[in-house]
Structure 1
């Protein structure tokens, strides 16, 4: 077996061996793929995500070996569309510094679209925080005219801040989506979004909506997790009945208030919540005593693992 010796530029015995070992580690794509994602771990705040993306950019600019993996991870999680749209010269940041807007300036050539699409393909998660940057209606229309998803491989979209204009949220619709968490200003906007979501993202597995009750929930036949929080409207028998018969639903979280109008006797106890494993109800002791005795007998599942009652 050949013996490792120090290289001509090593400062100590075994330096060449250490250099070779380091190079082997950097060239091990499996190892790199395990290490780099730690820079952008799940659960990061938007501020932490921005900092992590700066670190990934530094890695991409300083290490040729790590560059492909770093670039892929750099674009994996975004908090808004500004970095992506800025790749296309025709999308320019205009307006005053305190309220900038992305606007369309000139014709977009094939090279501009190719560059944008190449990087957009890396995006898997959006933790949306529009900040003070808005997207002009002209840009939104131009993107919609392409008749293809802006983010074709997006898996998760989250925007619970209630800051984004409703039309901007539509830019994130993609058939690849598996998880959506968002809120809307009005019931009409929520209903329109859920309808579009059901048409474009039929494979959705997790849905969280804040404030407004969806009316088209029955379209999500593969939905496994549903979270309805801080609802402004009371739960209706029709909507509750649609939720109860979702065939794959295993986790359901909602407020218990506003259930006075639900006709529990109209639910088929043999076909309601047949796969439910986790039920979380946000309520008061008084509402629990009022509604739980009527709800529990209507749950057909035999695989319930947890029932959580929280304020």
Structure 2
């Protein structure tokens, strides 16, 4: 019958993941897969889910194909055939994440051409989701293309040296796959067209940029355009405050920057070709006064990791208006006290109600002091005050790990217990090492406020100076935690182990794990302290049992006492609780006051006489009477109409009406004929002129000119008719012919 743990795949997966996280967990899972048939498949899936190298994959080739069986990365003796790929294809389907580091040089470069030419299918790892690639050369970057399958969701690139092939690789990658997570870490600047190459990656949820140029306004505009962005990691180290503010310059329009009266403008109002730029100083002045305009953005970001000085981180956080849930800060240690105070207050003010995890660690450059902590050149540890945090009501995890600022006091512990009542995991520099002359300031009994106020605290890591507990702590039941299960004391000092065990059994009676540094090769190891905590760990379970047994006996005794208390006898008794009521009438007459107000409006009569102005205009046209004498000129001419005869005689008789030897005179027929010779166009033209120019005075000269022109036309026409009549023969119908 199948065990209960194997009936639910999710429960089995959680169990195997818990085994994997333990020391030697991978070896334990390997043995479990080889021992139990029912656990074989789930254990293999967990083992092959994440690979830190390609070596396990190469080891799946037949031993006869490898140059050295124990070192598969050295290469192959011959090209593999299809049967040699069976195990790789079988286990390749389980791989979800794989990493490659060219700098280690544990995989021969000759293997990648074999993978490219002889692979039986396009992608060896068809279910690959995450790919981490660290290279130093263009050839190493080109090998990454073999694993860019369509199912890939996360790509992490770490480039050591700059080369031009990077732009081509980013363009090819962006056109082939759609990522959800992208990480780029390099000491060299970003490519010039970095944002243009990644424009197609609009579904990014996580972006990590640790490279020069990551704070440019163009990168800020691109990151702000990602609607699904949830996780963001940036490096602010080595940059000025102005550069950090410039990251947000192109997120919103700069209203008011262009006027000379604006504080943010570089224009002084004077036309000068060599104008000095005082914008940095103006921004610093505005920052001090609190008048610097904020360009809030990245409202979808929930997890943020920033690296740099505390002042730069504070400037960056002022521009954010998102509901951050996890904040990881890698600062330069020790931070300036004023900058640390501003940063602590800003975190509490902006993200106090939403923040659930806060981690503060030191940068790589500040870790150098930790290496010389145990030498004579070591400086005394610095104090990191936690009193500037005001309120973090939803904080679940607080992790502070700094190399120098390791001093905490009981006031810090008491303040944390007040502002973080929901904290579940608290770490206060558990790796700190204190010189012999400077013991830790926190006593073991100073942790009592955390036990009393933080009811969900299950993991606590801090370096303490364990001494005998006070009677006030031991006699208080509130200082005993029912939730604390794990305690890590690191390099804590310990004195009387018996008193420490008694105090610890009271503070954490349900404690399951007690850890301390007991490795002799660890820097800061003190043998006396390690042996003292070992004795505490050995005796603590027994005292815990005694403590819990005593409390159990006390609880039972209280229950027995309560059970032996005599029961009180009760008797029922009726009481008449009738309420006496009284009727009373009250007559209310309101006092009425009449008030009359006489209002007489003042009336004004006003008349306006509006008479229009009448003006008359007399227009009398000028008329001219003129008579025209029309005399018809007549011409007398004799025509010889004698026809020459040869054998016959011809007599031409002309009628009397045709004779024209009359005296010329003027009569009505001549006038009618002269009027008939006047053209209609002349009449129309003259009438139009009279109509148009009637309101005006028509000069007589115009009329005379018109009449003269008509007369000349008639005379010319008459001359033409006369000439035509002279050249015309006598009509034959008027000639009488006699035989």
Contact 1:173 1:197 survives alignment (8 Å): yes
Could you say what secondary structure the match of 1:221 adopts? coil
CA–CA separation in structure 2 for the residues paired with 1:271 and 1:91: 63
Q: Match for 2:225 among 235, 240, 245?
A: 245
Matched, 1:28 2:12: no
The 1:282/1:113 distance shift into structure 2, 3 A limit, reads: same
Contact 2:220 2:251 survives alignment (8 Å): no
Q: Match for 2:108 among 126, 129, 135?
A: 135
Matched, 1:122 2:99: no
Could you say what secondary structure the match of 1:64 adopts? coil
Q: Which runs of 5 or more structure 1 residues have no equivalent in the other structure?
A: 1-19
Contact 2:99 2:131 survives alignment (8 Å): yes
Flag the structure with larger Rg: 2
Matched, 1:179 2:162: no
Matched, 1:223 2:204: yes
Corresponding residue for 1:79? 52
Contact 2:219 2:247 survives alignment (8 Å): no
Q: Match for 2:309 among 278, 281, 284?
A: 284
**TM-fit CA distance, 1:100:** 5.1
Q: Which has the higher strand share?
A: 1
**TM-fit CA distance, 1:160:** 6.2
Contact 1:183 1:190 survives alignment (8 Å): no
CA–CA separation in structure 2 for the residues paired with 1:81 and 1:124: 13
Could you say what secondary structure the match of 1:228 adopts? strand
Contact 2:130 2:155 survives alignment (8 Å): yes
The 1:274/1:148 distance shift into structure 2, 3 A limit, reads: farther
The 1:53/1:174 distance shift into structure 2, 3 A limit, reads: farther
Q: Match for 2:252 among 228, 244, 268?
A: 268
Contact 1:278 1:306 survives alignment (8 Å): yes
CA–CA separation in structure 1 for the residues paired with 2:199 and 2:84: 40
1:1-311 correspondence runs (5 A)? 24-25=3-4, 28=7, 30=9, 31-41=11-21, 51-89=24-62, 92-94=65-67, 101-103=74-76, 105-109=78-82, 111-128=83-100, 131-137=104-110, 139-145=111-117, 146=119, 148-158=122-132, 165-188=140-163, 190-202=166-178, 204-211=179-186, 212=188, 213=190, 215=194, 216-229=197-210, 231-233=211-213, 235-256=215-236, 257-258=238-239, 260=243, 262=246, 264-268=248-252, 273-287=298-312, 292=316, 296=319, 303-305=323-325, 310-311=330-331
CA–CA separation in structure 2 for the residues paired with 1:37 and 1:210: 29
- Higher relative contact order, chain-length normalized (CA < 8 Å, sep 6+): 1
**TM-fit CA distance, 1:119:** 0.9
The 1:80/1:196 distance shift into structure 2, 3 A limit, reads: farther
Could you say what secondary structure the match of 2:87 adopts? helix
RMSD, matched Cα: 4.0
Aligned length: 274
Contact 2:135 2:159 survives alignment (8 Å): no
**TM-fit CA distance, 1:120:** 0.2
CA–CA separation in structure 1 for the residues paired with 2:328 and 2:59: 45
Q: Which runs of 5 or more structure 2 residues have no equivalent in the other structure?
A: 254-294, 332-739
**TM-fit CA distance, 1:183:** 0.7
CA–CA separation in structure 2 for the residues paired with 1:167 and 1:40: 33
CA–CA separation in structure 2 for the residues paired with 1:94 and 1:117: 21
CA–CA separation in structure 1 for the residues paired with 2:204 and 2:16: 31
The 1:33/1:239 distance shift into structure 2, 3 A limit, reads: closer
**TM-fit CA distance, 1:87:** 2.0
Contact 2:131 2:154 survives alignment (8 Å): yes
The 1:190/1:243 distance shift into structure 2, 3 A limit, reads: farther
Could you say what secondary structure the match of 2:123 adopts? coil
**TM-fit CA distance, 1:286:** 4.9
